[in-house]
Structure 1
Amino acid sequence: MDTQGLYLTTRERKILQQSLHADLRSEWRRRIEIMLLADTGKTQTQICKAVGCSQETARYWIMMLQIGQAHKWNDSSIGRPKVVSDEYVNRLKVLVCQSPRDYGYSNGRWTAQWLRTQLAQEFDIQVSNYHITRLLKSMGLSMRKLSSSTLNHF
């Protein structure tokens, strides 16, 4: 029978070990490995060397282990939170196919500033002009291409 670690019960450890066998994102795998190593008494420095993580990451997941929250290894999001939703992007697609004059703008061509302003009014989400440009680029468009002939093919 498996002996109990410093923080995890035998059952908790078994669940984490089984989770390692699944097809996991590398960040989630690292979280589990950190907690399993900490449970065996490894120091933060030893864990960082073994897993290849930062001191901050190791410290956070060791603390989660210590407060009994090891089961939350896949609850926390990874990376920067997504600001815009799919609905936002879809609305951007619709807007670029319409005239800015329909929305009270003076010019017949959209600018990143006007798209950003219109979407901010509709979604109460503030993004930069650069982000609008990046979203358009991900759709295969650019501010230069926003002409009626391009949009008819969109």
Structure 2
Amino acid sequence: MSHFLSEGETFQNYNLQEGKFLTSFQRKALLKSLQTDLQPEYRRRIEIMLLADVGKSQSQICEIIGCSQEMARYWIGLAEAGLAHKWNERPIGRPKIVNDQYLARLRELVSNSPRDYGYAFTYWTAQWLSKHLAKEFDIQISDRHINRLLKQMGLSTKRKSSSPPETSQTQDAGITICDLQSNTRPNFHWSLNLMQTNK
């Protein structure tokens, strides 16, 4: 994944640009951090904030960096709130808060076949839902938590038992009802013929 600052573009040139919401100090600090050997996750956070600061839209940022809409929205919001300096305070891999958008997407996924999303298998598992949503939202949660969320929504990844419908043998067979109370005629019984007449 290429970074938005090409090799020919200097940090100094970028530094001179007027930003939308980062202070000059914040911009310089972020640019300086980009020059260090950062983990890709941290680098993406900084780049999101810097791109937003020069006026790139959320969708443009996602396309340039290759991040999820949720991730871009979160770090743009942090920068707008004046908290750009907190880019390294959130440990990588820690789950973010599961929000309504996440839950709506989970409901949508489990209501459809994984094949609709390019997978080869037919039924979702909590593990695959977790992996898929982690890619989309950059939120890592356990399979167990996925199952808890599904349960709260009245959903499940478990297949509904597809027991075959009752056989139609009753149309052809008769039912015998014995009179167990009768002392006088122990062998007496009624036969009911349930055969349907063809019209």
- TM-score, normalised by the number of residues in structure 2: 0.39
| Equivalent residue, structure 2, for 1:25 | 39
Select which of 81, 86, 91 maps to 1:77.
91
Contact residue 3 and residue 10 of structure 1 kept, 8 A: no
Matched residue count: 81
Equivalent of residue 76 in structure 2, options 62, 79, 99: 62
Corresponding residue for residue 99 of structure 1: none
**Structure 2 residue aligned with 1:143:** none
* Residues 31-110 of structure 1 aligned to structure 2 (within 5 Å): 31-80=45-94
1:65 Cα deviation after fit: 0.4
Unaligned runs of 5+ in 2: 1-14, 96-199
User: Can you give the 5+ residue segments of structure 1 that lack an aligned partner in the other structure?
Assistant: 82-154
Amino acid at match of 2:50: L
- 1:6: which partner in 2? 20
What secondary structure sits across from 1:60 in the alignment?
A: helix
Give, in whole Å, the separation in 2 of the partners of 1:70 and 1:2: 18
Task: Mark the structure with the bigger radius of gyration.
Answer: 2
Whichever structure has more strand as a proportion of its residues is: 2
3-state SS in 2 of match to 1:74: coil
Over 6 Å off, 4+ runs: none
Deviation at 1:80, TM superposition (A): 3.9
Amino acid at match of 1:26: P
2:90 is paired with a residue whose SS is coil
Instruction: Name the % identity.
Output: 59
Amino acid at match of 1:33: E
The alignment's TM-score, normalised by the length of structure 1, stands at 0.50
Alignment root-mean-square deviation, CA: 1.4
Q: Tell me the SS of whatever aligns to 1:79.
A: coil
Shift of 1:2: 1.9
